[in-house]
């Protein structure tokens, strides 16, 4: 039974809109720093994109900011049991990108060199090495691969619950089933948020509303160019003789990927036919395209039975890179959204960054290049290692 919505307390120094990985991580880091923070989630915690994620965590990116955010987050995932606490099933068997195009090989060679300079232990592999590491892979057409052993995957809902429990332990208020319906501002300053069950006075709002962020930005006249894009995932029945230590394997050209999930495999792929929209129904046309690619790149997996699956939403920005910063037009409206498929893994570091932006100190990672104004000033910065 859905619990009756509780009236939120009348005041908080900072209100966070959205209870996914970004909102709960921000709540934890702010509460730990002694800030009076309230998180408002209209549904259940993690009920948005976070619980639909494949759980991949990595630092193998092309943009130095994403490499830094990934590295910082990996370190936080590794220590999650101590801070904030909780088991997140972290498996660090590496990310393996399979490459079948000379341009992609050249781009990954240069990304790997950059990653190495920034402290990521990634390396290029030949096709035989890649197939030995991920024995389901058919080498046909492959030219090379890139691998990083520290990457891996963990359980998104557990991360959210860990951050939420940690935030509460430091005094944060978290209200579920509490939709923010409006943001009040006067003379360019935020004065509060409206919810169905009452108003909360506040001077600072953080938009952590994922694929729904554009609507939150509209509440305060800040255009956030974030659009929802459906992505689908399948989980197989138990796979006999699952190779131990199987990496998160991605066929970069097709975006088909798989990684171990319990006794089976979690598999996914983007759909070039997909249009932007909030539809999260399962789709048979995608299934046909998925099966065709899987049969080509990992023929033994085409035989595996499917236990269940789901669809969720990527929060897409125009350059497939996050949109993080503080609005210049209204004080103080902060936003962290548009993660375009890599928001789960950046959750820990972005929570630290948001804490620092609220406190007015230099952020843990310099995210000035991710400010939303980049789109108006032709300073977009495409992230190439996206799937």
Ligand X SMILES: Cc1cc2nc3c(=O)[nH]c(=O)nc-3n(C[C@H](O)[C@H](O)[C@H](O)COP(=O)(O)OP(=O)(O)OC[C@H]3O[C@@H](n4cnc5c(N)ncnc54)[C@H](O)[C@@H]3O)c2cc1C
Q: How far is CA 32 from CA 10, 25, 80, 82, in A?
A: 21, 11, 14, 14
Distance CA 326, CA 360 (A): 11
- Using CB under 6 A, which of the segments 52-60, 84-92, 295-303, 369-377 binds ligand X? 52-60
Characterize 131-169 residue by residue with b for buried, 16 or more Cβ atoms within 10 angstroms of its Cβ, and e for exposed: bebbebbeeeebebbbbbbbbbbbbbbbbbbbbbebbbe
Q: Supply the minimum distance, in Å, between the C-beta of residue 240 and ligand X.
A: 25
Of 337-376, which residues contact ligand X (CB under 6 A)?
Answer: 337, 339, 341-345
3-class DSSP state of 151: coil
Give yes or no for residue 70 binding ligand X (CB under 6 A).
Answer: no
Give yes or no for residue 49 binding ligand X (CB under 6 A).
Answer: yes
Q: Supply the minimum distance, in Å, between the C-beta of residue 99 and ligand X.
A: 19
- Using CB under 6 A, which of the segments 11-19, 198-206, 298-306, 378-386 binds ligand X? 11-19
Comparing CA positions, the residue from 42, 66, 60, 88 lying closest to residue 350 is 66
Q: What are the phi and psi torsion angles at 60 (to 5°)?
A: -85, 80
**Which 3-state string (H, E, C) describes 307-335?**
EEEEEEEEEECCCCCCEEEECCCCECEEE
- Using CB under 6 A, which of the segments 48-56, 101-109, 129-137, 167-175 binds ligand X? 48-56
The single-letter DSSP state of residue 382 is -
Distance CA 294, CA 259 (A): 13
Q: Supply the minimum distance, in Å, between the C-beta of residue 303 and ligand X.
A: 23
Q: Supply the minimum distance, in Å, between the C-beta of residue 315 and ligand X.
A: 6
Q: Supply the minimum distance, in Å, between the C-beta of residue 324 and ligand X.
A: 11
Distance CA 371, CA 335 (A): 9
Distance CA 328, CA 185 (A): 14
- Using CB under 6 A, which of the segments 4-12, 115-123, 131-139, 211-219 binds ligand X? 211-219
Give yes or no for residue 23 binding ligand X (CB under 6 A).
Answer: yes
Q: Supply the minimum distance, in Å, between the C-beta of residue 153 and ligand X.
A: 7
Q: How far is CA 362 from CA 18, 66, 196, 324, 357, in A?
A: 24, 17, 36, 14, 7
| Of positions 8, 26, 42, 61, contacts ligand X by CB under 6 A | 42
Of 257-286, which residues contact ligand X (CB under 6 A)?
Answer: 268
Helix residue ranges, H only, 211-275: 213-218
Q: By CB under 6 A, how many residues form the interface with ligand X?
A: 42
- Using CB under 6 A, which of the segments 43-51, 118-126, 135-143, 196-204 binds ligand X? 43-51
Give yes or no for residue 20 binding ligand X (CB under 6 A).
Answer: yes
Q: Supply the minimum distance, in Å, between the C-beta of residue 58 and ligand X.
A: 8
Give yes or no for residue 228 binding ligand X (CB under 6 A).
Answer: no
Give the number of other Cβ atoms within 10 Å of residue 288's Cβ. 9
The single-letter DSSP state of residue 372 is G
Give yes or no for residue 290 binding ligand X (CB under 6 A).
Answer: no
Give yes or no for residue 90 binding ligand X (CB under 6 A).
Answer: no
Give yes or no for residue 180 binding ligand X (CB under 6 A).
Answer: yes
Distance CA 371, CA 382 (A): 13
Q: Supply the minimum distance, in Å, between the C-beta of residue 102 and ligand X.
A: 27
Q: Which residues sit at the interface with ligand X, rule CB under 6 A?
A: 17-23, 40-43, 47-50, 52-56, 179-180, 208-212, 216, 231, 233, 268, 312-315, 337, 339, 341-345
């Amino acid at each position: 039974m859905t619990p009756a919505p509780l009236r939120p307390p009348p005041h908080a120094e900072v209100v966070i809109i959205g209870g996914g990985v970004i909102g709960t991580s921000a709540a934890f880091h702010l509460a730990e720093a002694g800030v009076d923070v309230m998180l408002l989630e209209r549904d259940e915690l993690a009920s948005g994109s976070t619980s639909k994620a494949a759980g991949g965590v990595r630092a193998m990116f092309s943009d130095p900011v994403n490499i830094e955010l990934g590295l910082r987050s990996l370190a936080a995932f590794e220590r999650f049991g101590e801070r904030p606490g909780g088991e997140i099933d972290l498996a660090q068997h590496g990310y393996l990108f399979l490459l079948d195009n000379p341009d992609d090989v050249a781009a990954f060679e240069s990304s790997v060199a950059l990653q190495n300079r920034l402290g990521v232990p990634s390396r290029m592999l030949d096709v035989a090495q890649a197939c030995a590491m991920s024995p389901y892979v058919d080498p046909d057409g492959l030219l090379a691969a890139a691998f990083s052993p520290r990457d891996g995957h963990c359980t998104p809902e557990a991360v959210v619950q860990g951050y939420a429990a940690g935030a509460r332990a430091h005094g944060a208020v978290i209200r579920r089933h509490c939709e923010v319906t409006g943001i009040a501002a006067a003379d360019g300053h935020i004065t509060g948020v409206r919810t169905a069950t009452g108003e909360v006075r506040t001077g600072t709002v953080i938009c952590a509303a994922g694929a729904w962020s554009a609507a939150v930005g509209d509440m305060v006249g800040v255009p956030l160019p974030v659009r929802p894009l459906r992505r689908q995932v399948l989980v197989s029945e138990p796979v006999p003789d699952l190779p131990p230590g199987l990496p998160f394997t991605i066929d970069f050209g097709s975006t088909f990927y798989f990684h171990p999930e319990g006794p089976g495999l979690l598999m996914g792929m983007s759909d070039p036919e997909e249009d932007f929209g909030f539809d999260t129904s399962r789709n048979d046309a995608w299934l046909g395209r998925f099966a065709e690619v899987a049969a080509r790149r990992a023929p033994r997996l085409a035989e595996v039975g499917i236990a269940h699956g789901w669809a969720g939403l990527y929060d897409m920005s125009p350059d497939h890179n996050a949109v993080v910063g503080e609005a210049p037009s209204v004080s103080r409206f902060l936003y962290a959204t548009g993660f375009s498929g890599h928001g789960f893994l950046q959750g820990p570091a972005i929570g630290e960054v948001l804490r620092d932006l609220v406190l007015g100190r230099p952020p843990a990672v310099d995210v000035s290049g991710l400010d939303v104004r980049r789109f108006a000033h032709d300073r977009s910065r495409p992230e190439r290692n996206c799937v």
